[in-house]
Amino acid sequence: MEPLVIVSLLLGLMFFLLASGVWIAPTLMAVAAVAIDVVAGRPAGASIATTAWSTSSSWTLTALPMFIWMGDILFQSRLSEDLFKGLSPLMRRIPGGLLHTNVLGCTLVAAVSGSSVATLTTVGKMTIPELRKRNYPEHLIVSTLAGPATLGLMIPPSIIMIVYGALTNESIAALNMAGIFPGLVLAAMFSIYVAIKALSTKHYNPIIEPDAGWREKLHGARKLLPVIMLLLVVILSMLFGFATATEAAAVGVMGALLMAVAQGTFTRQMFANSLMSATRTSVMISFILIAASALALAMGYLRLPETLAQWVEGFHLSAFWLLMGLLVLYTILGHFLDGISCVALTISIVEPMVRHAGIDMIWFGIFMVLVVEMAQITPPVGFNLTVLQSMTGHDMFKVGWWSVPMHLVMLVMLFVLIAFPQLATWLPHQMIPVHGA
């Protein structure tokens, strides 16, 4: 059977199952079983069992539940609320005012949570009522949440980076380091857009509170220090080779617990809630990874990645046009799937093409994350737009339309990343080598 026919049949089965409401992981597992047993003629049960064991017993993936737990501890202990309270006094007189708390708040919470939806929910719950109370334009409230919330996928520690690293056998610590500069540059671009929009928007007349005194500003800044110090310890320990990604994640969990105790927010209920929430999320992601590994094994049996890579090579595409094709692919997938599922679903086919084109896999990880971020707010059905719709009460058309400017800012950032790949590759190359995950 022709490879393209096989791919078409398997994709048809996959989208049929997804459209029927079957979860991502069982869908991938079912497609893998059909491909191995029916098409490749091998015993699917034994093959999938072996792959499931090798994937789930990977030491690299131990960083995943630890980083998730760290974020849940900070969220359950309400330490994330201190970020908004600490930022507010510092933002009042900047063009755009408290809208910048959405951008900077998302940037900091992104580093805590590692998830765009968690970032959007955490910051949105705090800022939407406060900004509405101060008469900020609704379209700017929505747009300054839509774009910056996606930074949860890029700024370390990032859950999706761990998934990508595990599936491509790339260094998770290096991937996390690679996301720092692009994430900060993108956050700066969001803030510049907010300032320009605030200065140019007609009928922009928010209620400006009296300027805070130095005492209030210092008191607010104190609320930022614990979380910022914890993040610096986690990130710098990986950068300078003092700890692997797994060890840094363990340090992050202990630091988050100690901070909760020191601030009086640690309770038995908070500990249990954070542990159970992290367990549910980790199990869900692990199940997707096992299913994705089974699908990658099936693709390997059928030699589909090599065949498709040769097929694409026949078009003689440059690396740039290959990236543009992948931009379209992930934008479409982002309408229907979350970021982790997009990566898990496609990486077994995409990786050989990218490596064959001579593209650095660490850099491509950042490119992929940025494209997936864009897909999360691509109208009309981007994943984060659905969350924003439920939080703001606006219809999907308005939320999507108001999010378009942030999508364009991210598109500009994508071409900046292509033009200056050192943004993503310079810092990982400065890392002191350290053994382990």
pLDDT digits (tens, 9 = 90+) for 91-150: 767 788 778 888 887 887 777 666 677 677 777 777 788 788 888 888 888 999 888 888
Residue 437 forms part of a structural domain: no
Give the chain's domain count.
1
Domain that holds residue 289: 3-429
How confident is the model at residue 363, as a pLDDT?
Answer: 95
**At a CB cut-off of 8 Å and minimum separation 6, what does 13 contact?**
30, 31, 34
pLDDT at position 71 is 75
Q: Is residue 36 part of a domain?
A: yes
Residue 435 in any domain: the answer is: no
- pLDDT, tens digit only, all 437 positions of the chain: 566 677 778 878 887 887 787 887 888 889 889 888 887 778 888 888 888 887 777 776 777 788 778 877 877 776 656 666 666 667 767 788 778 888 887 887 777 666 677 677 777 777 788 788 888 888 888 999 888 888 877 888 788 888 898 888 888 888 988 998 999 999 999 999 999 988 887 777 776 666 666 666 666 667 677 777 887 888 788 777 787 777 888 888 898 898 888 878 888 898 998 889 888 878 877 887 788 778 778 877 877 666 666 666 677 778 898 899 888 888 777 666 667 777 877 787 788 888 888 899 999 999 999 988 888 787 655 667 877 887 788 877 888 888 889 989 999 999 999 999 999 999 888 765 554 55
> 251 lies in a domain?
yes
Q: 436 in a domain, yes or no?
A: no
| pTM listed for this prediction | 0.75
Contacts of 122 (CB under 8 A, 6+ apart): 75, 80, 109, 113
- Tell me the torsion sign for CA atoms 139, 145, 151, 152: negative
pLDDT at 366: 94
Shortest CA distance to 385 belongs to which of 198, 116, 98?
Answer: 116
Question: pLDDT of 255-310, one tens digit each?
Answer: 889 888 887 888 889 899 888 988 887 887 788 778 877 877 887 787 766 666 66
Contact (Cβ atoms closer than 8 angstroms) between residue 16 and residue 280: no
CA atoms within 13 A on the CB side of 357: 25
Identify whether 353 is part of a domain.
Answer: yes
pLDDT recorded at residue 419 = 93
Residue 126 covered by a domain: yes
> How many secondary structure helices (H) and strands (E) does the chain include?
21, 0
The number of angstroms, rounded, from the C-alpha of 212 to the middle of its chain's C-alpha atoms is 34
In a domain? residue 434: no
CA–CA distance, 427 with 418 (Å, rounded to integer): 16
